Structure 1
């Protein structure tokens, strides 16, 4: 899947055959910022406008804009998997955080 990038924000690209419309949303933030367009150029333009409007709204309201993909997130796994990962990390003499980061890094490199 391809993505749109603008000012540090990433937008998804979806297609609705029912509406004959491209649409998407900004990824990696809690708020909903959506955009749409009839063509790829329209979609990209609306994405830029949506991000700019979000940043301007934050500025006008004196709120710090949410930054996507901050590098911190919660993961819920089974207790047994948690235990196995923690023990393997201990055996490797690394933190659980570093153990998990390396596992993710290896998986991402394969894609």
Structure 2
């Protein structure tokens, strides 16, 4: 179960402000600040959708490419021993290191 909102490949947080007695959040995984709020979960989700749609429309009007939260590349630091182990596994199975790491991650996160 996730506390993230998802819409058009964008994900957003769900937080509660006791002081303002409202729900709020922001889109994660991009540099642009896209925030939203609502008095109920339904309102929060609707404002999230509206905020993403407005961001995409603004990018279209300005003729710029919208930021994509997940490009498919990232750096990860692991121990030298684990690096050696996965590299050997990849060679023994005729795979690239990237393919072996992708397989391992895919196996880990399958629901």
Q: TM-score normalized by structure 2?
A: 0.80
Q: Supply the distance in 2 between the matched residues of 1:54 and 1:79 (Cα, whole angstroms).
A: 42
Deviation at 1:40, TM superposition (A): 0.8
The answer for the alignment partner of 2:105 in structure 1 is 104
Please say if 1:82 is aligned against 2:83: yes
Deviation at 1:12, TM superposition (A): 2.3
- Number of residue pairs aligned between Structure 1 and Structure 2: 110
Deviation at 1:81, TM superposition (A): 2.2
- Root-mean-square deviation (CA, aligned residues, Å) is 2.0
Deviation at 1:48, TM superposition (A): 1.4
Q: Supply the distance in 2 between the matched residues of 1:85 and 1:31 (Cα, whole angstroms).
A: 35
Q: TM-score normalized by structure 1?
A: 0.80
Q: Supply the distance in 2 between the matched residues of 1:92 and 1:69 (Cα, whole angstroms).
A: 28
Please say if 1:25 is aligned against 2:26: yes
Unaligned runs of 5+ in 1: none
The answer for the alignment partner of 1:55 in structure 2 is 56
Match of 1:5, SS state, is: strand
Please say if 1:40 is aligned against 2:44: no
Unaligned runs of 5+ in 2: none
Q: Supply the distance in 1 between the matched residues of 2:40 and 2:92 (Cα, whole angstroms).
A: 53
